[in-house]
């Protein structure tokens, strides 16, 4: 489950590990998603500790009575020098890095894949047969981690 909307999402800014809160729309998105996911009767919730993900996860915890376990390996991909910039600003300031989608001073996709998949493996070891794990994280981390 990806976190709800933030102001930087609306502005098209690269968030990375900058700890941005949900905006009012994001809070409502989290509440709606929580109502829908609660019907699936999850047995465990793990989340990135970043506030936009943790707030989203807590909405599900409130709807299910479960406790959220945070795992720092689920944080978003570090964007280094790109954090806070729009895609246009990134293309102008960092054309070579943009072409290879490697933020200067940020994490590689391989680094994100390894830590994210390690967090999933740890969590899955705790899930009983027939259990349902909900992972709350960030767009890039989820895509990279799940592909790994």
Residues with catalytic roles: 3, 76
- For residue 64 the two structure tokens come to 């299910």
* Burial class of 27 by CB neighbour count within 10 A (0 to 12, 13 to 18, 19+): middle
Beta-carbon contacts of 108 under 8 Å, excluding residues fewer than 6 positions away, are 102
Beta-carbon contacts of 86 under 8 Å, excluding residues fewer than 6 positions away, are 11, 12, 13, 14
- For residue 129 the two structure tokens come to 């047969």
Cβ atoms of 38 and 111 closer than 8 Å: no
Beta-carbon contacts of 25 under 8 Å, excluding residues fewer than 6 positions away, are 4, 5
- For residue 42 the two structure tokens come to 């999850």
């Amino acid at each position: 489950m990806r976190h709800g909307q933030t102001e930087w999402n609306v502005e098209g800014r690269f968030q990375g590990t900058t700890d941005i809160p949900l905006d009012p729309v994001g809070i409502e998105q989290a509440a709606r998603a929580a109502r829908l996911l609660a019907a699936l009767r999850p047995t465990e919730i793990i989340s990135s500790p970043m506030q936009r993900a943790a707030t989203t996860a807590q909405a599900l915890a409130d709807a299910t009575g479960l406790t959220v376990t945070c795992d720092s390996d689920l944080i978003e991909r570090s964007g280094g020098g790109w954090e806070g910039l729009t895609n246009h600003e990134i293309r102008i300031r960092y054309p070579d890095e943009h072409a290879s989608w490697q933020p200067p001073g940020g994490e590689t996709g391989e680094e994100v894949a390894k830590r994210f998949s390690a967090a999933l493996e740890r969590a899955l070891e705790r899930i009983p047969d027939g259990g349902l794990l909900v992972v709350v994280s960030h767009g890039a981390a989820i895509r990279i981690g799940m592909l790994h």
